Amino acid sequence: MSDIPLIETPDSPHVNALQPSPNFEPRKPGYRPNLLLLHYTGMHSCQKAIDWLGRPESKVSCHYVVADDGTITQMVAEDMRAWHAGQSYWDGVTDINSCSIGIEIHNPGHTQGYPDFPDTQMDAVMRLSTDIVGRHRIAKGRVLGHSDVAPQRKIDPGEKFDWKGLAAAGVGRWIAPEPIDDGNWSLAPGARSEKIADAQHLLRTYGYGVHVTGILDQPTAFVLRAFQLHWRPTGVDSRLDASTLETLRRLVHTALTDHAVARKSTRRQLWQLSSR
């Protein structure tokens, strides 16, 4: 429990209510918010989730909670380190709490029927997320689900979450997944193949925590499931197939292209400034 004063004013104009949580602390030195992490609450009631996130004994929290009616509650100030990611990894970083802003989206989760995310709720998530990524200049590839950074432990926000719609609103990256062809090749956990090594390399390039072994071991299967939950939600089976690999190839190609374009634009801006 932190002895720093609780949040008194919202960071976003889209916040409807403040419910301060004591479960936060300063971000570790050298870290700033550069990643947006989306979760679902996994509880039957949104109010019960907010209550739990605000209890000292829970030792968990988040920056925002979005109810199914679109109400947005802020619990921790954005400049503070909320306790929402747990043991996690992305692109070489293991302290995801120190570099992220966490949004809990109310949904009972897979163990309680996993209903669709209502349009009103998704509209609120899009408005809040657009505001956050704009103010903190969060890159497209750093808008992620809890399952992306903790694939062995988490599967939220899950295959029903509208990543495509979020990207259309300017938040995160989306590419259309390669259609599934049941007649094509498919590799199950335990298989060994150069295709698996290729997939592991591509997953690691994008930011996932996976070793390149050429074996579809259990850790790789978890990461493939996380990738499918986010990028190929119509077929989440932890297997490597032609659809998953081609979708992954195009995702990494798009990310590398975006990065190259951004670097070129930065160099052009620096040249223009230096030539004035």
In this prediction, residue 272 carries a pLDDT of 45
Helices (H), the chain: 46-53, 96-99, 119-136, 146-149, 163-168, 194-206, 218-231, 242-274
Same domain, 74 and 125: yes
Tokens (6 digits) for 137: 């200049």
Same domain, 163 and 71: yes
Other CB atoms within 10 Å distance of the CB of residue 30: 7
In this prediction, residue 269 carries a pLDDT of 45
User: Residue 179: inside a domain, yes or no?
Assistant: no
In this prediction, residue 276 carries a pLDDT of 55
User: Residue 61: inside a domain, yes or no?
Assistant: yes
Give the whole-angstrom CA distance, residue 237 versus residue 70.
Answer: 31
Written as tens digits, the pLDDT of the chain (276 aa) is 457 889 999 999 999 999 999 999 999 999 999 999 999 999 999 999 999 999 999 999 999 999 999 999 999 999 999 999 999 999 999 999 999 999 999 999 999 999 999 999 999 999 999 999 999 999 999 999 999 999 999 999 999 999 999 999 999 999 999 999 988 999 999 999 999 999 999 999 999 999 999 999 999 999 999 999 999 999 999 999 999 999 999 999 999 998 876 665 445 544 544 555
User: Residue 4: inside a domain, yes or no?
Assistant: no
Same domain, 121 and 232: no
Same domain, 110 and 154: yes
In this prediction, residue 266 carries a pLDDT of 45
- Paired sense of beta strands 35-40 and 80-82, if any: unpaired
Domain boundary among 115, 133, 168: 168
Domain harbouring 208, CATH code: 1.10.101.10
User: Residue 177: inside a domain, yes or no?
Assistant: no
Same domain, 197 and 106: no
Same domain, 269 and 160: no
Active site residues: 104
Domains: count for the chain: 2
Same domain, 54 and 116: yes
Amino acid at 221: A
Same domain, 230 and 113: no
- CB contact at 8 A, 49 and 58: no
In this prediction, residue 270 carries a pLDDT of 42
User: Residue 6: inside a domain, yes or no?
Assistant: no
Give the whole-angstrom CA distance, residue 207 versus residue 94.
Answer: 12
- Residue 197 sits in which domain range? 186-274
